[in-house]
Amino acid sequence: MIEIIREPWPWYIAGPLVGLTVPILLILGNKSFGISSSLRHICAACVPANINFFQYDWKKELWNLFFVFGILLGGLLATQFLMNPGEIIVNPNLTTELSGYGITDYSNLVPVQLMNFANLLTVKGFIIMIGGGFLVGFGTRYAGGCTSGHAIMGLSNLQWPSLVATICFMAGGFLMANVILPLILSL
């Protein structure tokens, strides 16, 4: 049984399971799926400031905080007990391209040369970790939700803004991976 959980699931099983979260949430309680709104709920619960953005009944969204906590807990359990001890397989073409930028260690899920505390104090590390984190947070707020909220929940409800946001997420991802990231890595 543990081997079934440890291995990647094919798209035709994982995709419908993710897709079924939408009707289940709607049927069970008219709830909307999304992750980025949980930070707003945490701030509304913990920050006693008189800010209009945080003045709402956040207790109605408590289920979302438990959902996000479950994601965090699941990630921690998976990294402790379900990690594949084998070598991480990277496409040879990508390995060749990344070696030109000095990225050669694939012993972790994220290359060590990119994500480590010492790298945070370099220009490249600062741009990738701090700048990238800010842009993701700003973009999520500006788009009115994250990729999971728009691409899974919004598209399944045939919402036009979610289609526009998802197209922009994809275009931004392609632009970042093929144009901007190579410029940053060459610093």
Q: Which residue has the higher pLDDT, 73 or 55?
A: 73
Residue 144 reports pLDDT greater than 80: yes
Q: Where are the alpha helices (DSSP H) in 47-91?
A: 62-81
Mean pLDDT within 23-52: 83
pLDDT digits (tens, 9 = 90+) for 4-22: 777 778 999 998 988 888 8
Q: Residue 168: which of 144, 143, 148 has the closest Cα?
A: 143
| Phi/psi of residue 155, nearest 5 degrees | -65, -35
Q: Is the pLDDT of residue 85 over 90?
A: no
Instruction: Report how far residue 125's alpha carbon sits from residue 101's, in angstroms, rounded to the nearest whole number.
Output: 13
Better-scored residue on pLDDT, 22 or 73: 73
Distance of CA 59 to the CA centre of its chain: 24
pLDDT beyond 90 at 164: yes
pLDDT confidence band for 128 (50 / 70 / 90): confident
pLDDT at residue number 96? 92
Residue 103: pLDDT band with limits 50, 70, 90: confident
- CB-based contact 151:15 (threshold 8 Å): no
**pLDDT band for position 160 (50/70/90)?**
very high
CA–CA gap between residue 154 and residue 44 (Å, rounded): 24
pLDDT of residue 175: 95
Q: Which two tokens stand for residue 105?
A: 């260690």
